[in-house]
A = this chain, B = another copy of it.
């Protein structure tokens, strides 16, 4: 009936919708305004359309976030040089970084066996490095499970500090104060070791070393 104010033909060359631009737009919104801002309506508005239009390319919000996760994992670079352990550490650190940079994406990875193209590429490289380290097939298979789980978990933890309004330092000092006010009779170890609990240092790298050393010292079966 009523013609729209500007006919679609006259519009300034709107980029056509596609799964890719939707995913990219989602990542932009996530990075700029956080997880709460990542709504279907918001993505649609950014693309100058209505929410309904997105559902041609994306099954639902979860599907969108899964796709966004895999897009983020495409950024993980291939570690080039060093021993297999060094390259494995670099790979895991990079994967953690890539996932933690976008709030909420790591949580998606924790909820499902990875099946995205780029997630599987990371997994494949992990397996190659473990085999290079001389592990047998079963141990290597179980190890990637553990390593991927740790990467996702570390990223989930990191992303909270990366994105929340509150900084990491604030959160730590707040926790430190909480621990300091605990009754020593109910929480003797925390009270005694409080200084060590919050001792600074590169925990992330130490965690990776623990995992690698543990895997090497724990044959499956």
A-side interface residues toward B, CB under 8 Å? 107, 110-113, 115, 120-121, 123-125, 127-128, 131, 137-138, 140-146, 149-150, 152-154, 156-157, 160, 171-172, 175, 178-179, 182, 186-190, 193, 195-199, 201, 203, 206-207, 209-215, 217-218, 220-221
A138→B196 CA distance, assembly (Å): 5
Contacts of A171 in B (CB 8 A): 112-113
**A41 nearest CB across to chain B (Å):** 20
Query: What CA separation (Å) do A121 and B210 show in the bound complex?
Result: 24
Tally of this chain's copies: 2
A124 in complex: contacting residue of B123, B142, B189, B209, CB < 8 Å: B189
Residues on B with beta carbons closer than 8 Å to the beta carbon of A186: 121, 124
- Contact between chains at B115 and A175 (CB < 8 Å): yes
Q: How far is the CA of A178 from the CA of B120 in the complex (A)?
A: 11
Q: Are A207 and B146 also in contact (CB < 8 A) when A111-B160, A113-B171, A175-B115 are? A: yes
Given contacts A141-B196, A215-B210, contact A190 B113 (CB under 8 A): no
Identify A210's interface contact among B137, B146, B189, B190, CB under 8 A. Answer: B146
Of B142, B201, B213, which contacts A213 at CB under 8 A? B213
Q: Establish whether residues B193 and A218, one from each chain, have CB atoms under 8 Å apart when the complex forms.
A: no
How far does the alpha carbon of A9 sit from the alpha carbon of B61 in the complex, in Å?
Answer: 46
- Given known contacts A110-B157, A146-B203, what 15 new A-B pairs fall within 8 Å (CB)? A107-B110, A111-B157, A112-B171, A140-B196, A142-B201, A142-B207, A143-B210, A145-B203, A149-B153, A150-B153, A152-B153, A153-B156, A212-B214, A213-B213, A213-B218
